[in-house]
């Protein structure tokens, strides 16, 4: 018997404008009647060839995820989608969604995550649309989705469709006049098989596997932060690479992430930092809620900044089989606020280096056009053109491949890198959850400096003097499709190549978060092992003075420093 399609009248909700990566709001907002449905209807309206299409649906397992899967599947059925691939229990990491879209050549996918934001009934939820290349929707689709949310009058749903996502398998339904298939897939299988084609698992096993008596010379600690990567980590590091049952912690995905911020940085992944400081482990990695972010640490808690991490990976592609095929490394890229270490690697290798706005979606066109192989962002995102999302587990495997080939501690790998290229010191100050209006005002004042009023002006602090060369608000023209993104962050560029960047976060669910990025480049080897805060302290003070950030935010100190 065919299931009935119901068209329900609805009204627009304010504020369904996606941020840097999808729509992120408190769970309670998504739970309002029609709120999630409206947004999903608008996503479906931008899917190319929706009729009979295949879409992937899955997420990081946070609270409200299963309910959202149920709504999405019912709405896909009602809107003429032919097949939906759902991760078992609704679980799929963001990289796994990207891979599945590409592998199964689907028209896109819907990712249910608020990434590194906390989860639970009182916390955050998020919905993101990924297009057929596997990457986040670009500005063109995002704007169309948002436009749709401002005028929506009705949505279509198939209320009678009941699905069971607890076990793998395929079920067919008759919906209206068409066939509709729900395929529940193993959440990790395809991704793990893909990783085996990118990395040399034999070499990694040789490095990691427990030797006689359960001992290993090279102990690792992976912290899945109660997020989605747990099952992937267990399958790869414990089962495939035999790194032992204690190599990973917090590997069960929890709906509320156990009450933590599943955000792999020095503040929120302190548990890993402390464990690494014990000196017991050679390598540590933490991933965020949906598995696309990573933090990499060495013995004794040696911190590799994301900006350095991607530069070292780009410099050591010979350790990764994937880059030995298909013509090697085509180009490199980073987001604008990311430290410029990768630029130096690109210039030495003689390949292009692209600087894009914050947001992984800006890398996709370059990858599709064969111009980009490896890229990264200061926001703990690292990845390559193997998929169209950043990929935490991939980054950890890339680093382990480098360590396996170099057979020396991570600190020495970095020292060697800085000796070759010089060191770009980098830090980011986050002022989370501030009042929006004064932060917008601050950005307006900073933007006004683009007029050139400060050009040539000298600022001194703690014995260091910087001269402002130029101030601008970053604008990007996509070299592939010519689309233009404006006002992507105010850059204060100093005459010696140092720089400060200000922008407002686009991933919060309420209020405003100010991000201040500070970078300087040193070629004096005696500075290389210095603490970044010590080296950048004077420039941080100058940045605070120019922006009057403390005045606008009312904050003496940042919430997070990385």
Please provide the size of the chain in residues.
562
CA-based nearest residue to 125, from 140, 110, 147: 110
Contact 49, 24 (CB under 8 A): no
- Residue closer to ligand G16 by CB (options 287, 425) is 287
381 part of the interface to ligand G16, by CB under 6 A: yes
Give CA–CA dist 361/134, Å, rounded.
10
Candidates 201-209, 237-245, 305-313, 354-362: pick the segment binding ligand G16 (CB under 6 A): 354-362
Q: Pattern 229-268, binding to ligand G16, x per CB under 6 A?
A: ----------------------------------------
371 part of the interface to ligand G16, by CB under 6 A: no
Q: How far is the CB of 358 from ligand G16 (least distance, A)?
A: 5
359 part of the interface to ligand G16, by CB under 6 A: yes
Q: How far is the CB of 10 from ligand G16 (least distance, A)?
A: 27
Give CA–CA dist 334/358, Å, rounded.
9
Among 41, 53, 142, 358, contact with ligand G16 (rule: CB under 6 A) = 358
Give CA–CA dist 148/166, Å, rounded.
33
Candidates 148-156, 286-294, 392-400, 455-463: pick the segment binding ligand G16 (CB under 6 A): 286-294
Among 116, 138, 219, 299, contact with ligand G16 (rule: CB under 6 A) = 116
Among 102, 156, 235, 293, contact with ligand G16 (rule: CB under 6 A) = 293
State the DSSP string of 488-555: --EEEEETTS-EEEEEE-SS-SSSEEEEEEEEEEE--GGGTTS-HHHHHHHHHHHHHHHHTHHHHH--
Q: How far is the CB of 291 from ligand G16 (least distance, A)?
A: 9
Dmax (CA) for the chain in angstroms is 80
Candidates 65-73, 205-213, 373-381, 394-402: pick the segment binding ligand G16 (CB under 6 A): 373-381
507 part of the interface to ligand G16, by CB under 6 A: yes
292 part of the interface to ligand G16, by CB under 6 A: yes
The residue assigned the tokens 């410029």 is 340
> Within a 10 A sphere around the Cβ of 556, how many other Cβ atoms?
6
Q: Is 114 helix (H, G, I), strand (E, B) or coil?
A: coil
505 part of the interface to ligand G16, by CB under 6 A: yes
Q: How far is the CB of 293 from ligand G16 (least distance, A)?
A: 5
321 part of the interface to ligand G16, by CB under 6 A: no
- Residue closer to ligand G16 by CB (options 254, 336) is 336
Candidates 28-36, 54-62, 246-254, 499-507: pick the segment binding ligand G16 (CB under 6 A): 499-507
Give CA–CA dist 350/330, Å, rounded.
10
Candidates 39-47, 65-73, 357-365, 455-463: pick the segment binding ligand G16 (CB under 6 A): 357-365
Give the β-pairing of 374-377 and 423-434. Answer: unpaired
- Residue closer to ligand G16 by CB (options 155, 360) is 360
Q: Quick check: is 115 catalytic?
A: yes
Q: Is 556 helix (H, G, I), strand (E, B) or coil?
A: coil
> Within a 10 A sphere around the Cβ of 428, how many other Cβ atoms?
23
Give CA–CA dist 96/192, Å, rounded.
9
- Residue closer to ligand G16 by CB (options 83, 515) is 515
59 part of the interface to ligand G16, by CB under 6 A: no
41-69 as b/e: b if 16+ CB within 10 A = bbbbebbeebeebbbbbbbbbbbbbbbbb
The residue assigned the tokens 């299409």 is 53
The catalytic residue among 115, 216, 379, 505 is: 115
- Residue closer to ligand G16 by CB (options 66, 515) is 515
Q: How far is the CB of 93 from ligand G16 (least distance, A)?
A: 11
Among 53, 107, 115, 424, contact with ligand G16 (rule: CB under 6 A) = 115
Contact 342, 381 (CB under 8 A): no
Contact 114, 21 (CB under 8 A): no
- Residue closer to ligand G16 by CB (options 39, 418) is 39
Q: How far is the CB of 389 from ligand G16 (least distance, A)?
A: 8
Give CA–CA dist 541/151, Å, rounded.
46
Binding site for ligand G16 (CB under 6 A): 20-21, 115-116, 288, 292-293, 335, 358-360, 377, 379, 381, 505-507, 515
List the catalytic residues. 115
């Amino acid at each position: 018997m065919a299931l009935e399609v119901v068209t329900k009248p609805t009204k627009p909700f304010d504020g369904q404008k996606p941020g840097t990566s999808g729509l992120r709001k408190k769970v309670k907002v998504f739970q309002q009647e029609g709120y999630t449905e409206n947004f999903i209807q608008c996503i479906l309206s931008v899917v190319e060839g929706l009729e009979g299409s295949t879409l992937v649906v899955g997420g990081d397992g946070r609270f409200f995820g299963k309910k959202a899967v149920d709504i999405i599947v019912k709405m896909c059925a009602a809107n003429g989608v032919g097949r939906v691939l759902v991760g078992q229990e609704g679980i799929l990491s963001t990289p796994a969604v990207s891979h599945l879209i590409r592998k199964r050549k689907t028209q896109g996918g819907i990712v249910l995550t608020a990434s590194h934001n906390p989860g639970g009934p009182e916390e955050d939820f998020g919905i993101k649309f990924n297009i057929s290349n596997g990457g986040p929707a670009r500005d063109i689709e995002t704007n169309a989705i948002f436009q749709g949310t401002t005028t929506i009058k009705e949505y279509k749903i198939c209320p009678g469709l009941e699905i069971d996502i607890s076990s793998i398998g395929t079920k067919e339904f008759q919906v209206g006049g068409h066939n509709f298939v729900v395929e529940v897939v193993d959440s990790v299988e395809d991704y793990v098989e893909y990783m085996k084609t990118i990395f040399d698992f034999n070499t990694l096993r040789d490095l990691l596997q427990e030797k006689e008596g359960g001992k290993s010379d090279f102990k690792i600690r992976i912290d899945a932060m109660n997020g989605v990567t747990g099952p992937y980590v267990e399958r790869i590091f414990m089962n495939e690479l035999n790194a032992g049952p204690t190599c990973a912690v917090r590997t069960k995905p929890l709906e509320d992430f156990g009450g933590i911020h599943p955000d792999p940085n020095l503040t929120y992944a302190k548990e890993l930092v402390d464990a690494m400081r014990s000196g017991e482990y050679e390598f540590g990695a933490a991933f965020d809620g949906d598995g696309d972010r990573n933090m990499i640490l060495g013995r004794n808690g040696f911190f590799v900044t994301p900006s350095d991490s991607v530069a070292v990976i780009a410099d050591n592609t010979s350790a990764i089989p994937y880059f030995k095929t298909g013509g090697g490394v085509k180009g490199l890229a980073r987001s604008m606020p990311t430290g410029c270490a990768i630029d130096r690697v690109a210039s030495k290798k003689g390949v292009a280096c692209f600087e894009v706005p914050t947001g992984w979606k800006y890398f996709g066109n370059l990858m599709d056009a064969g111009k980009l192989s490896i890229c990264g962002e200061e926001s703990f995102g690292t990845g390559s053109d193997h998929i169209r999302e950043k990929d935490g587990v991939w980054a950890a495997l890339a680093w382990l491949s480098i360590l396996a080939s170099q057979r020396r501690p991570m600190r020495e790998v970095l020292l060697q890198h800085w000796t070759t290229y010089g060191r770009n010191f980098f830090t980011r100050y986050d002022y989370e959850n501030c009042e929006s209006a004064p932060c917008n005002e601050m950005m307006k004042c900073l933007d006004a400096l683009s007029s050139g009023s400060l050009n040539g002006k000298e600022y001194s602090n703690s014995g260091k003097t910087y001269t402002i060369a130029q101030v601008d608000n970053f604008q990007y023209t996509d070299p592939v499709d010519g689309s233009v993104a404006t006002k992507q962050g105010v850059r204060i560029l100093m005459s010696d190549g140092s720089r400060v960047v200000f922008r407002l976060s686009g991933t919060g669910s309420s209020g405003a978060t100010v991000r201040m990025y500070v970078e300087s480049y040193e070629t004096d080897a005696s500075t290389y092992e210095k603490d970044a805060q010590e080296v950048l302290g004077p420039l941080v003070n100058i940045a605070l003075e120019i922006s009057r950030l403390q005045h606008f935010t009312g904050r003496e100190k940042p919430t997070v420093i990385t």
